[in-house]
Amino acid sequence: MINHMSIGVRSLARAKAFYDPVLAAIGYRCLSEDAGSLGYGASSAAFWVLRTERPMPANPESGLHICFNAPNGDAVKRFHAAGLANGGQDNGKPGLRTDYGPDYFAAFLVDPEGYRLEAHSKG
């Protein structure tokens, strides 16, 4: 349904230092990089990080969050650990979320810019 999405950040260097290890933990990498953007994905860029002077203000009540597919629960755990090690904040430790489904395994982070992130796998 969605081909790609983008977020705005003040510092691409800071975003790259965060997103490179966090997304690598779940099988994605930076496939495109220039002075104004970073594009992440597995085989084509689907998640874009754009340099802007006025990114969306952090608002935990906005309802906005980004969920990435992960291949398995171990990758979800690595995603969460990499986020914490690279400037992110915990927003939900790795574990089953049976209220979402019997085999919904996820972890939640807040990136350095304030975006809420999730990695999810089945089982």
Q: Specify the CATH number for the domain of residue 26.
A: 3.10.180.10
Let me know if residue 58 belongs to a domain. no
**β-sheet bridge partners, residue 39:** 32, 48
Q: For residue 123, is pLDDT > 80? A: no
Let me know if residue 21 belongs to a domain. yes
Range of the domain at 15: 5-51+64-122
Q: Residue 26: helix, strand or coil by DSSP?
A: coil
Tokens of 110: 């807040």
Tell me what the mean pLDDT of segment 28-35 comes to: 98
Query: Across the chain, what does the average pLDDT equal?
Result: 95
Let me know if residue 105 belongs to a domain. yes
Let me know if residue 57 belongs to a domain. no
Cα 78 to Cα 4, 36, 90: the distances in Å are: 24, 28, 13
Band of the pLDDT at 1, cuts 50, 70, 90? confident
Let me know if residue 108 belongs to a domain. yes
Tell me what the mean pLDDT of segment 8-30 comes to: 97
**β-sheet bridge partners, residue 90:** 109
Separation between Cα atoms, residue 34 and residue 76, nearest integer Å: 28
Q: Give the count of domains, the chain.
A: 1
Let me know if residue 113 belongs to a domain. yes
Dump pLDDT digits (tens) for 56-110. Answer: 888 888 889 999 999 999 999 999 999 999 999 999 999 999 999 999 999 999 9
